[in-house]
Structure 1
Amino acid sequence: MFSSPDPAPLEAAHAVSVADALALPELAAGSPEVVAGADGLQRQLRWAHVVAGTSAIPLLEGGELVLTTGAGWPTDPEGLRRLARELVAAEPAAVILELHTAYAEPPAPLVRACEAAGIPLVALRREVRFVQVTQRIHQRMLALQTEALAARAEVHTMLTELGLNRSPVDYVVERLSETLDAPVVLEDSAERVVAWSGRGHDPESVLAPWSRATDPDGGAGRGAADDGAGDGTTRTEAHGSRAASAAARSAEAVLPTGSERVPVEAQGERWGRLSALPGPPHPAGRRTVLELGAFALALGKLADDREWLQLSSKRLFDVLLSGRYRRDAELATQLAAAGLPLEGRVLLGATLRGIGDFGAHDSLEHAILETALRRAVAPEGRAIIVTDPGAGARDGSRAAPPGEPETRAPLLALLSFPQDDPRVAPAQAAATPPLAARLARELDMLLPSTTPKAWRAHLALGAAGTGLRSLIASMERVRAAGRLRAVAGAGRVTVQQAERQALAYLVRGIAADPEVQEFAAETLGPLIAHDAASGPGHSGDLLRVLGAYLEHPANRSLAAQRARLSRSVFYQRLALIEDLLGVDLSDGTTIATLSVALLARG
């Protein structure tokens, strides 16, 4: 299934080095002495050659272990200097000179030349059989090559099976990490971490290079508009964004020494890079394994262009919402590595959902909402967005505000803005938040002309703050609040805002408490029972009427309009509510009590 990259040479740890050759019994018997270039003992051998005289030196191709007795070499100083220059210029891995045949000691010009070039010069004080030496070295090299090919085939088979099984990206990265016994990180073209794995390694140490590379003020460097063609933009627009991103980046993740990094690309398009942090050698070569993995990931990207973006977002929200992190710094590093900087930024959680009939498939609505929000946040802002994974279980029993249609699962968003960004300015009474106005403009450009006029996008904004704890609290509260009646709007966007609906956000945040649920059930019990009954006098809409009234307690005519009832029928319903509950709906304490109960019930 996979067309493998070109074979790579053996890595240093899996090739025969000069030091390995000197440790062979056949060479050790010659009492080898390193007289020059001792720092080059880890140089790799490409082959081993016995060289007699000087005529064979021009035929060397580099990397050979040269075995010689010096027979046929010149003895005059100028001739030796010329020989030394020619031999070093051929770049052998090392030179082994057996003494007593032509020389009692290594020639001084050769010693100086090898030392200057860092090429080990080894003197043998005793005679050895060069044929046995070359045979042993070649056997060992061939054995390592065979082992490398077998290991490469094993990795190739593993990745083929993963491809046939349509294994997700994070699982492929996990298997690569297990194969290399080292942390492996997949990043996209904007250097945001898509997936990583490293058993026994904490996120802070693995993702630190990508966290440090976050550039909040670098324009398109890690902008929300860089997410590519999976979010509703065209492939041309996405490619242009990636090109601009690459040009605008001022910082890249600098990996520790010993790391490997390869591009993930296909059909002339680069989507990101795959990196392996330092670890033990692999028989097939760490880089070869990484290249095979990168090719498999590229094929997966061709098959599903959105998977990378979705995977990264889902993983981070799973960590945040489930509390699967040990320290705040651990989660902050993961968020920063994924392109959401926290340091010196204004942070908040938000939800976005469509209301009413969209007139097309839900997937198109989802893509347009996500794209519009990303564009509204860009370029200075950053966003991580995902469909709420618990929307069905949590919102299924929570009714929409009175008189309004139900909605699909909302998008959850973590937002990060510069400190002075006007889009997160303090809320003002009766004013439309600037972010909502920007979102409305983006939607106008993206929505199909066939979208029904009644369709709306509902934006819920959590409280803005600084620091990770503030971001988590904002996300949890706006998510718990669900959809509330809007306090502002712009174009097709309606808005609810924590700063202007503090009571609603507070009550919804504690609504799961058994005592709060018991309070809501006892307070509203008679109305719930009446709505559930049938027959004369049982309209089934008292809770909806109460909700409309509590939204506008000082304007019953407007409340009747919200409930979509005539004023006379609306007033009859209010009288029935007062009678069933034994309360006066004009009393402030009663209004507050019923408001809390209705919010808690959802």
Structure 2
Amino acid sequence: MTALARPLPSVRDVLGLAELTAGAPELVTGEVGLDRGVRWAHVVAGSDAPALLDGGELVLTTGAGWPDPAAAPTAALSALVTALVDADPAAIVFELGSRFTEAPAPLVAACGERGIPLIVLHRVVRFVQITQRVHQRVLAAQNEALEARAEVHAMLTELGLNRSPVDYVVDRIAATLGAPVVLEDAGHRVVAWSGSDAAVLDHWASAQAGAAAGPPLPAAATRVPVEAQGNRWGWLTALDGPAHPAGRETVLELGAFALALARLADAEGETWLDLGSKRLFDAALSGRFSGERELAAQLAAGGLPIDGRALLGATLAGFGDFGAHESLEAAILSTALRRAVAPDGRVLLAPAPAGVAGPRTLLALLSFPPQDPRASAALAPAAHPLAERLAHELAMMLPETTPAGWHAHLSIGVGASRPRALIASLERVAVAGAVPVGAARVRPGGGAAGRVTVQLAEARPLAYLVRGLAGVPELEEFAAVALGPLVEHDAAAGAGHPGDLVRVLAAYLAHPANRSLAAQRARLSRSVFYQRIALIEELLGVDLSDGETIAALTVALLARDRA
């Protein structure tokens, strides 16, 4: 850890001391250095005085013991002055008297060159009083810094004992410093950040977009590593803000230490991995961004490049008995999908919040290079390329005890090239959920690869449109009225009530131009199937060869499935 940073009194502060103003001070040169910190005060005399300085002192002198400019060669005085300014004092206070009636020219020139304030006193003062007052100020500042450091340390220790969330710790560090703070991982992906202005993420967004280390951080930014036991997990950065009594770097280092301890307890780094994604999904789905540029910056800083990429929203869920705890299922699904998009693709994953999608569902935002087949909107003959990769990864990861009936369902939204369209793509598949694919798990717009079923929004636009409108009262009423006679008939018992009319209608609507295939899907003989169709037409009072009727009943069935 670096030495304690102290809010030292400045040269400007010292010039305001009554003990110094009594000497009628005049600033001869070095106005640019008035904000230099004064770490001590030292009275010097003689040609050996510069060797006693460490730098940063307020030097008080009358020139006693210096070469007489009238008798000695100018070179001797110039050498002394050079040694004095080389010691880098905060400022030099030169009291005029009988020996020097004005500041020596070499001293004025040297101080002007180095930007060191040179103050000339026209009246005699007591140097001891000035040094006492300066030392009081310095010691008070040191004590304030120590107290501030202890307060910050106690606060962060308490957060650690409370196992406070990482994002809350970052917010507290930011509040302490009064400046935006960003926590990034070793790959420069933003894990957590404070503040409401996403412009602070521009540096990290550029880095994730491939601009090497991104644009340089502002000069006023302070950055420290987050590391422990030889492992460096990331960086903690504070952007421009006010000074802190304990020192900005000290506060950040204490914060980084607290974060490192929490990271040690999370050997897999899952907390860091999930935190950034959850915050991004929350901001994106709740509309907490002022515009597309801000949303793009947040996504890019979180590890999802946007510019010039093919973007997809998707959901991934497990169906059936997994044979183990849901947390293991979620971990395997997320890891398999990350591997399936690697190495050129990027993915952000988070569990679906309640009410956004079904249980055991992961939300995914995907980014691929242009023309990557995994970002294709078309279904391959067997399965989608991304589903094939996912099935391959799952086959290597699933426990041997996983029941045969379990499978993963990947639902892929429409392709996008801009952030808003990407979020809309995710929202539609999340709200729609998994459109049933039947016993064979293969239907138009869907396919299967190993233990993975896949559906594409672009292949079944009507299904996703209707299911995205689920919950609209008018749509629910329309479905209930349109299918009501069939539902009532199926619910009745006795002769002439087979109880399968809704299922038969679904098979017919899936293949309206091929009744033989529809009969096969309904698992009925052609003659029985035709009887059922005739009964359906009679009960509903419709002609099932009419295109508008087919469309209306398809919408009604889709709405009923989702209800």
Question: Could you tell me how far apart the structure 1 residues matched to 2:264 and 2:215 are?
Answer: 25
Residues 566/180 of structure 1: CA separation in 2 closer, same or farther (3 Å cut): farther
Deviations 1:330-384 (A, max 9, x none): 2222112212222222222111112222232222221121112112222222211
Q: Secondary structure at the match of 1:596?
A: helix
Partner of 1:403 in structure 2? none
Match of 1:516 among 461, 475, 482: 475
- Please report how far the alpha carbon of residue 214 of structure 1 lies from its aligned counterpart in structure 2 after TM superposition: 2.7
TM-score, structure 1 as length reference: 0.83
Q: Deviations over 1:543-591 (max 9, x none)?
A: 4554455445566776677678899998887777566545566665544
Range with greater deviation from structure 2 (152-161 or 554-563): 554-563
Aligned pair count reads 547
Asked if 1:19 corresponds to 2:17, the answer is no
- The aligned counterpart of 1:362 is 326
Superposed, which structure 2 residues align to 1:556-571 within 5 Å?
A: none
Task: Report the Cα distance in structure 2 between the residues aligned to 1:355 and 1:44, rounded to whole angstroms.
Answer: 66
Following TM superposition, by how much is the alpha carbon of 1:534 offset from its aligned partner in structure 2, in angstroms? 7.5
Amino acid across the alignment from 1:301 = R
Deviates more, 1:566-575 or 1:19-28: 566-575
Aligned to 2:81: 84
- Local SS of the residue matching 1:145: helix
Greater shift, 73-82 or 544-553, is seen at: 544-553
Task: Tell me which residue corresponds to 1:491.
Answer: 450
* Residues 406-438 of structure 1, C-alpha deviations (whole Å, 9 max, x = no match): xx4211111122222232234157453222222
1:298 counterpart (245, 250, 260): 260
Q: In the alignment, what sits opposite 1:70?
A: 63
In structure 1, give the amino acid aligned to 2:262. Answer: G
C-alpha distance in 1 between matches for 2:329 and 2:531: 40
Q: Which amino acid aligns with 1:202?
A: D
Partner of 1:117: 114
Give the stretch that moved more between structures: 136-145 or 414-423: 414-423
Q: Sort the Cα spacing of 1:258 and 1:504 in 2 relative to 1 into closer, same or farther, 3 A.
A: same
- 1:69–1:101 CA contact under 8 A, matched in 2: no
Given residue 450 of structure 1, which amino acid in structure 2 is its aligned partner?
T
- 2:160 aligns with 163
Corresponding residue for 2:234? 272
Q: Could you tell me which amino acid in structure 2 is paired with residue 211 of structure 1?
A: A
Q: Which runs of 5+ in 2 are unaligned?
A: none
Q: Pick from 353, 373, 376: which aligns with 2:337?
A: 373
Which ranges in structure 1 are unaligned for 5 or more consecutive residues? 219-248, 396-407
Q: Contact (CA 8 Å) 2:43, 2:60: kept in 1 or not?
A: yes
- Aligned to 1:213, the other structure's residue is in SS state helix
Aligned residue number for residue 205 of structure 2: 211
Deviations 1:453-486 (A, max 9, x none): 3332211111102212321221121112210224
For the pair 1:471 / 2:467, whether they are aligned, the reply is: no
Q: Is the 8 A contact 1:65 1:92 kept in 2?
A: yes
Distance of 1:539 and 1:348 partners within structure 2: 43
Q: Aligned-pair RMSD on alpha carbons?
A: 2.9
Change (3 A) 1:569 1:289: farther
After superposition, give the CA deviation of every residue in 1:386-417 in whole Å (9 maximum; x if it has no partner). 111135x754xxxxxxxxxxxx4211111122
Residue equivalent to 1:442 = 393
1:9 aligns with 2:5: yes
Note if contact 1:208-1:337 (Cα within 8 Å) is conserved in structure 2. yes
Q: Tell which deviates more after alignment, 490-499 or 108-117.
A: 108-117
8 Å CA contact 2:5–2:246 kept in 1: the answer is no
Q: How does 1:264-413 map to 2 (within 5 A)?
A: 264-304=226-266, 305-391=269-355, 395=358, 408-413=359-364
- Secondary structure at the residue paired with 1:187? strand
1:481 matched to which residue of 2?
432
| TM-score, normalised relative to structure 2 | 0.88
Larger Rg: 2
Identity of aligned residues (%): 64
CA-CA distance at 1:188 after TM superposition:
1.7
Partner Cα distance (2:420, 2:149) in 1: 46
CA contact (8 A) 2:377 2:456 kept: no
What secondary structure is seen at the aligned counterpart in 1 of 2:208? coil
Q: 1:539 to 1:389 in 2, by over 3 A?
A: farther
- The counterpart of 2:23, out of the listed 30, 54, 61, is 30
CA distance in 1, matches of 2:542, 2:295: 49
Matched ranges for 1:123-162 at <5 A: 123-162=120-159
Q: Work out the CA distance in 1 between the residues paired with 2:156 and 2:492.
A: 61
Structure-1 separation of matches of 2:51 and 2:415: 73
Match status 1:57 vs 2:50: yes
Question: Structure 2 CA distance, aligned partners of 1:450 and 1:571?
Answer: 44
Match of 2:404 among 433, 449, 453: 453
Partners of 1:145 and 1:420 lie apart in 2 by: 61
Distance 1:154 1:356 in 2: 53
Partner of 1:184: 181
List per-residue Cα deviations over 1:206-238 (Å, max 9, x = no partner).
Answer: 2222223332xx4xxxxxxxxxxxxxxxxxxxx
Alignment partner of 1:42 is 2:35? yes
2:375 equivalent among 424, 446, 460: 424
Contact map agreement 1:358 1:455 (CA 8 A) in 2: yes
1:61: Cα distance to partner? 1.7
Q: 1:539 to 1:179 in 2, by over 3 A?
A: farther
Provide the C-alpha distance between the structure 2 equivalents of 1:537 and 1:154, rounded to a whole number of angstroms. Answer: 82
